[in-house]
Amino acid sequence: MAEQRQFVYILSNKEYDGLIKIGKTTIHPEVRANEMRRGTESIGIWEVEWHMIVPNCNVAENLIKGILKEYLFQRRKEFYSVEIPIAIKLCEETLKTYFKIEKPEIFTKRSAIQLEALIEIQKLKMELNWDNPDFSLRRKPKE
């Protein structure tokens, strides 16, 4: 019997502006996002921004929670207020290093070049105007 594939994922939803959802699943993340779209507990459409196949999704999720804890949104265990490219880079680097994965199976809506460019833009914004809240890595929800 084949081993069950395990994933960690990042989802976004325009109705939850400024927040991303990070989780784990043993079903494909697109299927998980569709389940959430049909669920009564959330509004809007969830889109898969990134996912990675990992050997152990429980360990992977705990590692991610640890590295992103400063971005946790109001103690909600799966919602984070951080720019998507930053979250992706932190997740990928942490998981590739921990699991010693040389060629990970990763899906992302953006190319590696786009992600790097967005990260560099964030760094420049921080260098130029660190105290200005408009240039924070932390995304602010609509009021």
Query: Residue 60: enclosing H or E segment and its boundaries?
Result: helix 57-67
Instruction: With 0.85 as the threshold, say if the pTM is over it.
Output: no
Comparing 49-53, 83-87, 95-99, 112-116, the range with the smallest average pLDDT is 112-116
Q: What is the mean pLDDT of residues 55-74?
A: 93
Decide if 88 contacts 108 (C-beta within 8 A).
Answer: yes
Phi/psi of residue 33, each to 5°? Answer: -65, -40
pLDDT of residue 53: 94
The number of residues making up the chain comes to: 143
Is it the case that residue 28 has pLDDT exceeding 70? Answer: yes
Radius of gyration of the chain (CA): 15
Decide if 42 contacts 71 (C-beta within 8 A).
Answer: no
Is it the case that residue 138 has pLDDT exceeding 70? Answer: no
- Give strand pairing partners of 21: 11, 79
Among 24, 33, 31, residue whose Cα is nearest residue 52? 24
